[in-house]
Amino acid sequence: MTAKRKFQIATDMLMIVMLPFLMAYQLIGEAIHEWIGMGMFLLFLCHHLLNRNWHKNLLKGKYNKYRLLLTGMDLILFIIMVSLAISDTLLSRHIFTFLQPEGGISGARIIHLLSSYWGFVLMSIHLGLHWNVIAAAINRTTRPKSSAGKKRVIFRIAVGAVCLYGIYAFMERDIGTYMFLKSEYVFFDFNSPLLKFFIDYIAIMLLFASIGNYLGIFCRKRRNAHEGVSNQQQRQKGREHRHFN
């Protein structure tokens, strides 16, 4: 694995680690939230610089359903991250205090709320969609053992249990309420341990990452099946052409 690839993975992993901390903004303090948010946006820019070939190839090649899904997700996340950066700048009380717009604060707050929760869910799904790439990178740095099959079963059972808890945490934390703006204010239970907050949000992340992973597997299988049929049809046409000639 090249140094660039290792740096890419490290950047992506750091963004994933920072995500639950950003969601706990009232529990960790507004100033820390703003600094982590700025760091997240810088990492986001770094991520796109490291993957600049993605931008160059947007208008190249054919778009199957799987590529449409990945590209659509990436574009939506790009819009969300830009919206978060702009709204965070307008709402800033610590870093960008010199920017004090006369109006539009309430609108910026709503945009920030929607972008935060939709971004949290979609980033988790995005992680799952690219899990095959992450897993391949991990496998290249580790040696598979004979007991890998048993460990895989145990791992899947554990992930399933965490996902079930993630469903419970999603409902308990009222994530859907904020995603669909049924409430413009987020409730934080300051009596609840901060550790429980992180456990809940990590479980929710894993839940949506699993959804993204299986969605990606389904789309790749459909793509491979379609390509297999197309190749078979081309070979059949080639045989028929040779037969008649």
- CA–CA separation, 160 vs 45, rounded Å? 33
- CA–CA separation, 232 vs 226, rounded Å? 10
Q: How many domains does one find in the chain?
A: 1
Per-residue pLDDT tens over the stretch 188-203:
989 989 999 999 999 9
Per-residue pLDDT tens over the stretch 172-226:
999 999 999 999 889 998 998 999 999 999 999 999 999 999 998 888 887 777 6
pLDDT at 21: 96
pLDDT at 220: 82
List of the chain residues with pLDDT < 50: 146, 240-241, 243-244
What's the domain range around 58? Answer: 3-244
Q: Both tokens of residue 65? A: 């359903």
Q: Both tokens of residue 189? A: 């239970």
The per-residue DSSP string of 105-154 comes to: HHHHHHHHHHHHHHHHHHHHHHHHHTHHHHHHHHHHHS---TTHHHHHHH
